[in-house]
Amino acid sequence: MMNIIRGFQDILPENMEKRRFCENRLRAVFKKWGYQEIDTPTLEYYDFLIQGIGPELRERMFKLLNADGEIIVLRPDMTTPIARIAATKLGKTGDGFHKFYYLNHVFRKVANNTEDQQEFHQAGIELLGLNNRLADAEVIAVAIQALVNAGLKNFYIDIGSARFFNSLMDQLPIIAERKKTLRKTIMNKDFVLLEKLLFRYDLSRQDRETILRLPHWRGDESVIVEAEQTFQQNNLTASLALKEVKEVYQYLRMYGLNRYAIIDLGIIRNFDYYTGIVFEGYTGYMGSAICGGGRYDHLCQKFGKDIPSTGVAIGIEKLVRVLAQENQVSKGTLNRRKYFIRYRKDLIQVAFILSEQLRNLNNIVEMELEIERPKDQAIQYSIDKKIRYLIDIQSENLDQVTRYDLETNKEEKVSYGEKN
Amino acid sequence: MVKKTEDSIMTIALPSGRLFQSTIDLLKKSGYFGLIDYNEKTDRRLVFYNQEETFQFMITKPKDNPTYVECGVADIGIAGKDILLEEKKDVYELLDLGLGACHIVLAASRAREDVMRDIEQRLPLKIATKYPNISRNYCIKKGINGEIITLYGSVELAPQVGLADIIVDLVSTGKTLQQNHLRVIDEITPISARLITNRISYKTRHRQVNQVVQALKKIVVQTNDT
């Protein structure tokens, strides 16, 4: 019988340790850049939250009824609740900016049968109150540093622009309804239908090629140079958007992080939601992005206040999986800060004192709880728990304590007497 | 999972069954994939290479094909539009290969007018199908008061024995429908095989993916002309 709900997981210690390792490494970077942790309720009012949530995510929310018959939802992302907080609880616009980070779980119904997961852990930052390229670049830089600190080696961040894409769409000489169909087709990544539509709508050869060639605009700064030559004459907004991408890339170069960055003008994200720079990170190990984000200047406004914002979210489960494939997560060497203490039955108080003494020195110390368990079993238990040192107390005298190093299989006499 | 870079070889997922032989023929005809030596009748390998070892091929159940592509274990796949419509995978559709062309239709054993009258009067209709999602969307679009019964195959049986009033199914020649006393009430959508890729292969191996598209595009157009 299934005893837990589909798409939700029990996480046992071994995997939990891997997840916490990642989370701690990401958190450390967020904090170093001055981002402050924020939390929001797991449950929110449906009517309120959907003001800021697009149709795709809206369908994937878990909806419930509370005792008063109101519809409530499990939060499907962290960005929307944070935008709600920014718009309703923080100072007026022009009061400077806010830097938040979060490490939390979000809930989404499975989109298809490939991904059997409905509870996701996300780490991310939001930078609210600024609309400049330095802010855009900082968010990308923090994302890169966080992934590097977690131990990820082979990854890239593709940087594009929703504004660029939107300006190309705006410029097409067709009615709004048809533009909507084109956008939807591109969002669905159906290039077969897209090509047909471009002909059916009687677009000029140049317009058709511009749209179909979008994925070709990918690489380093030379892509921008090429694109600028194409668009500076006939599309002012597009060339402004290109300047923005270039500026962000240049900041990343100054940070010394441009080796992780790739310009990709064909990037497809939710362009109804994002308004400026967009980006996503990927590795060679996975068919989908490991992190993503961008500028969403209109979201806070939907909750009552106009606050330009940008942010990134990193998928923890994906990161853990990729790190395991890259073999970056600690591979089971014994931890030299872990101790196991055996003792003769009548010396239990000596063992208590020594273990507390070792804990005070920042070690992880386990007492034998199964009194008089054979030593070989105690050793096996220790190795299973990645404990490096086993201490065996056979006398009251702490000056000459037997300590086994389970990594090297050596026995030594160590003094834990008062002089320490 | 193997790590994919620009240097490692391209992996292509092929659908077994109905589309397999015509897909192999298409790949051979394009001349782009080198020497492919695979005999459908005698070979039992699920993974094989072209002789130059520049492409790796894997054979999947047609319905699973987009899954292998979506997860990134295959760079390119070939999947029927019916499966793509039904499963809503996160894949890029690159090219209409024109193979296995047919339609998804609404069919019934009763006269067209009778069925249409039932639909207009919003009478409840039991619909047998292998495509519950496509059927549901169609019902919403046409305002049909449909109750969907999902089957795994031989859908034509359902109306004959009273399990369903109408069916939504794939039809190519119409012979099976005819022999089971069913007629087409409405053509829901045309179907053919599509060349698909995932978003990461589409980015990181864009040049190679595009070369495959161009190589196949040439002969697909030719095939349509003749």
Please tell me the distance from the alpha carbon of residue A322 to that of residue A156, in angstroms, as a whole number: 13
Superfamily of domain B10-101+192-225: Periplasmic binding protein-like II (3.40.190.10)
Q: Under a CB-based contact definition with an 8 Å cutoff, are residues B148 and B129 in contact?
A: yes
Listed in sequence order, the residues at least 6 apart from A3 whose beta carbon sits closer than 8 Å to its beta carbon are none
pLDDT at B2 over 50: no
How far apart are alpha carbons A168 and A237 in whole angstroms? 9
By Cβ distance, the residue of A112, A191, A325 closest to B89 is A112
| B102-190 has the same fold as B10-101+192-225 | yes
Percentage of chain B beyond pLDDT 70 is 94
Q: What is d(CA A78, CA A97) in angstroms, rounded to the nearest whole number?
A: 18
Least CB-CB distance to A284: which of B5, B88, B194? B5
Nearest to A11 by CA among A121, A123, A147: A121
Residue B20 has pLDDT above 50, yes or no: yes
Across the interface, whether the CB atoms of B70 and A192 are under 8 A apart is answered no
So where are chain B's domains? 10-101+192-225, 102-190
Please tell me the distance in Å from A288's CA to the nearest CA on chain B.
Answer: 6
Enumerate the residues of chain A whose CB falls inside 8 A of the CB of residue B89: 112, 114
The closest of A168, A188, A169 to A178, measured between CA atoms, is A169
Which chain A residue lies closest to B198 (C-alpha atoms)? A287
Q: What CA–CA distance (Å, rounded) separates B127 from A275?
A: 44
Say which amino acid occupies A135: A
Closest Cβ–Cβ partner in B198, B201, B203 for A264? B203
Which residues of chain A are at the B interface, by a Cβ-Cβ cutoff of 8 Å?
111-114, 154, 158, 189-193, 215-216, 218, 264, 268, 282, 284-289, 325
Average pLDDT over residues B110-128: 91
- Which residue in the set A192, A282, A287 is minimally distant from B71, CB to CB? A287
What is the per-residue pLDDT for A331?
A: 54
Pairing of strands B146-150, B76-80: unpaired
Query: C-alpha angle with apex A331: A329 to A335, nearest 5 degrees?
Result: 105
Could B67 and A113 be called an inter-chain contact, meaning their C-beta atoms sit closer than 8 Å?
yes
Each residue of A252-279: b (16+ CB within 10 Å) or e?
beebebbebbbbbbbbbbbbebbbbbbb
Q: What is the pLDDT along chain A (420 residues), one digit of tens a residue?
A: 568 888 898 999 888 988 999 999 999 999 999 999 999 999 999 999 988 887 778 888 999 999 999 999 999 999 999 999 999 888 654 568 999 999 999 999 887 666 678 999 999 999 999 999 999 999 999 999 999 999 998 899 999 999 999 998 888 899 989 998 998 888 888 888 998 999 999 898 888 888 888 888 888 888 898 888 888 777 889 999 999 999 999 999 999 999 999 999 988 887 778 999 999 998 877 778 899 999 999 899 999 888 999 999 999 999 998 888 876 555 557 888 999 999 999 999 999 999 999 999 999 999 999 988 999 999 999 998 989 999 999 988 888 899 999 989 899 998 887 644
CA distance A191 to chain B (A): 5
What class does CATH assign to A335-414? alpha beta
Please name the member of A192, A193, A215 whose beta carbon is closest to the beta carbon of B206. A215
* A218–B200 C-beta distance less than 8 A: no
E runs forming strands in A305-398 = 309-315, 335-343, 364-367, 387-393
How far is residue A165's CA from residue A170's CA, in Å, rounded to a whole number? 9
Residue B78 is which amino acid?
I
Residues B79-86: what's their mean pLDDT? Answer: 95
- Residue-wise pLDDT tens digits, A73-95: 999 999 999 999 999 888 654 56
Q: Cβ of A288 and B199 within 8 Å?
A: yes
Which residues of chain B are within 8 Å of residue A192 when distances are taken between CB atoms? 93-96, 194
Which sign does the torsion angle of CA B123, B124, B130, B136 carry? positive
pLDDT in the model for residue A332: 59
- Please name the residue of chain B whose CA is at the shortest distance from the CA of residue A266: B203
Q: Which of A192, A268, A287 sits opposite B200 (nearest CB)?
A: A287
Cβ-based contacts of B191 with chain A (< 8 Å) = none
- Residue A236: its pLDDT value, please? 86
Distance, C-alpha A127 to centroid of its chain: 15
The reported pLDDT for the residue numbered A245 is 96
Interacting residues of A358 by C-beta distance below 8 A, sequence separation 6+ = A339, A365, A416
* pLDDT the model gives residue B154: 93
* CA triple A226-A227-A232, angle to 5 deg: 110
Task: State whether B4 and A284 contact (CB < 8 Å).
Answer: yes
Distance separating the N- and C-terminal Cα atoms of chain A:
56
Task: pLDDT band for B4, please (50, 70, 90 cuts).
Answer: very low
- Least CB–CB distance from A192: residue in B88, B96, B201: B96
DSSP code at position A324 = H
Q: Classify residue B42 as exposed, middle or buried by CB count within 10 Å of its CB (0-12, 13-18, 19+).
A: exposed
CA-based nearest distance A273→chain B, Å = 19
> Contact A112/B87, CB-based, under 8 Å?
yes
Do the Cβ atoms of A284 and B87 come within 8 Å?
Answer: no
Chosen for mutation from B78, B140, B200, B211 (greatest number of chain A CBs closer than 10 Å) is B200
> Which pLDDT tens digit goes with each residue over B167-196?
999 998 889 999 999 999 999 999 999 999
pLDDT score for A243:
94
> Exposed, middle or buried, A342 (CB in 10 Å: 0-12/13-18/19+)?
buried
- Cβ within 8 Å, pair A215-B1: no
User: CB distance A218–B203 less than 8 Å?
Assistant: yes
Interface probe for B, chosen from A189, A216, A264, A270 (most Cβ of B below 10 Å), is: A189
Which chain A residue's Cα is nearest to B208?
A216
Give the Cα separation of B148 and B164 in Å (integer): 9
Residues B56-78 have a mean pLDDT of 94
Chain B residue numbers with beta carbons less than 8 Å from the beta carbon of A154 are: 3
**Residue B132 structure tokens:** 């519950």
Output the pLDDT for position B9. Answer: 87
> Residue A409: CA atoms inside 13 Å, Cβ hemisphere, count?
2
Q: Give, for B204, the enclosing helix (H) or strand (E).
A: helix B199-204
Q: Chain A contacts of B85, Cβ < 8 Å?
A: none
ipTM: 0.76
B chain contacts of residue A287, beta-carbon cutoff 8 Å:
69-73, 198-201
Beta strands in B50-100 (DSSP E): 55-60, 76-80, 92-96
How close does chain B come to A325, measured CA to CA in Å? 8
Nearest to A114 among B4, B71, B96 (CB): B71
A289 contact residues in B (CB cutoff 8 A):
199-200
Instruction: For residue A193, list chain B residues with Cβ-Cβ distance below 8 A.
Output: 93
The third-level CATH classification (topology) of the domain covering B102-190 is D-Maltodextrin-Binding Protein; domain 2 (3.40.190)
Q: How far is CA A44 from the centre of its chain?
A: 22
Going by DSSP bridges, is the β-strand pair A156-161/A261-264 parallel, antiparallel, or unpaired? parallel
**Which of B216, B173, B222, B184 has its CA nearest to residue B28?**
B216
- What is the mean predicted confidence (pLDDT) over B10-38? 92
Domains in chain A: boundaries: 335-414
